[in-house]
Amino acid sequence: MLVATMPAKTPRLYVLPASHPCAAVEVALRLKSIEFKRVDLLPLQQLVVGPLRYGGATVPGMRIGTERVAGSRAIMRRLEELEADPPLLPAPDDATYASVLEAERWGDEVFQGVARRLIYAALVRRPQMMESYAQGARLPLPIALLRPAMPLTARLAAMKSKARDENARVDLEALPGQLERIEAWMADGVLGGERPNVADLQIGASLRLLASIGDVRGLIVERPAGELMRYFPPMAGEVPAGVLPAAWLAVPAASA
């Protein structure tokens, strides 16, 4: 019998508003009924705060007393140790175990970047929409003080994420094939169960962020892959349709 070892101190989860890997970890914490304190960072603030507070320069990061954990996959493994029920991984002898791990890896290393590049490609064109994604966040500074810097923040974040137009267009053209891959995993019982696993959370969070882009939403919500968004609350922010160049949408729309 596994006995959960709950932390003596309330974990602190360091996040960026609307970050998809942060959303995956938040859902995992709530599924396991682990109390935590959310610390909202400003965009790019993680580059300075992260190494000092939780040992990484990306989000999410977690601090439990003096323990530091960085990255969504590492944090979710630590949550499995802190609270075994409900499990986020199938048993090692389960037929889907290896496939769940592979889907989780792909969701983290490949698909997460697609969502990040496309959202920043959109926000560079409509930086004022960054405010909509910060709804409900407790940021270190008032939104009124952040508004003038949003265009520069969007450009810097896009540069960091390599969200150049040529990369974003390639991502958009590849999206229908990636959705087919997700749906194949769903058909095999790897994704889409009644209770989410680590791969559902990694991939579903990226789908939810992608669906907040008006020009991309229609490629997702009408497909079975869109069902993975049900594990998450509605997205706070939105970029309206018509922001991404129409030429980018012709190929994936036809393929889908």
Sheet holding 12-15: strands in order across? 37-40, 12-15, 61-64, 67-70
Residue 42 · residue 152 · CB < 8 Å: no
How many other C-beta atoms lie within 10 A of the C-beta of residue 255?
Answer: 14
Q: Give the rounded distance of the alpha carbon of 239 from its chain centre.
A: 16
For residues 11 and 64, what is the distance between their CA atoms, to the nearest angstrom?
A: 5
One DSSP character per residue, 39-68 reads EE--TTTHHHHHHHHTS-SSS-EEEETTEE
Domains of the chain: 12-82 (3.40.30.10), 97-255 (1.20.1050)
> Whose CA is closest to 236, among 151, 129, 154?
129
Beta bridge partners of 15: 40
Segment 145-162, tens digit of pLDDT: 999 999 999 999 999 999
Q: Which tokens hold the place of 7?
A: 């932390």
Phi, psi dihedrals of residue 164, rounded to the nearest 5°: -70, 155
Residue 8 has pLDDT above 80, yes or no: no
If pLDDT is split at 50, 70 and 90, which confidence band does 251 have? Answer: low
Residue 98 · residue 135 · CB < 8 Å: no
For residues 36 and 13, what is the distance between their CA atoms, to the nearest angstrom?
A: 7
Residue 254 has pLDDT above 60, yes or no: no
C-alpha dihedral, 249 to 208 to 75 to 121, nearest 10°: 30
**What local confidence, expressed as pLDDT, does residue 9 receive?**
86
Q: Which tokens hold the place of 210?
A: 């992608």
Residue 220 has pLDDT above 70, yes or no: yes
If pLDDT is split at 50, 70 and 90, which confidence band does 250 have? Answer: confident
If pLDDT is split at 50, 70 and 90, which confidence band does 255 have? Answer: very low
One DSSP character per residue, 229-242 reads GGGSPPPS--B-TT
**What local confidence, expressed as pLDDT, does residue 152 receive?**
98
Residue 140 · residue 42 · CB < 8 Å: yes
Segment 67-114, tens digit of pLDDT: 999 999 999 999 999 999 999 999 999 999 999 999 999 999 999 999
Segment 164-217, tens digit of pLDDT: 999 999 999 999 999 999 999 999 999 999 999 999 999 999 999 999 999 999
Residue 7 has pLDDT above 70, yes or no: no
54-59: long-range contacts, CB 8 A cutoff, minimum separation 24: 54/14, 59/14, 59/15, 59/16, 59/19, 59/21, 59/22
Segment 15-59, tens digit of pLDDT: 999 999 999 999 999 999 999 999 999 999 999 999 999 999 999
**What local confidence, expressed as pLDDT, does residue 3 receive?**
42
If pLDDT is split at 50, 70 and 90, which confidence band does 5 have? Answer: low
> Whose CA is closest to 201, among 6, 22, 69?
22
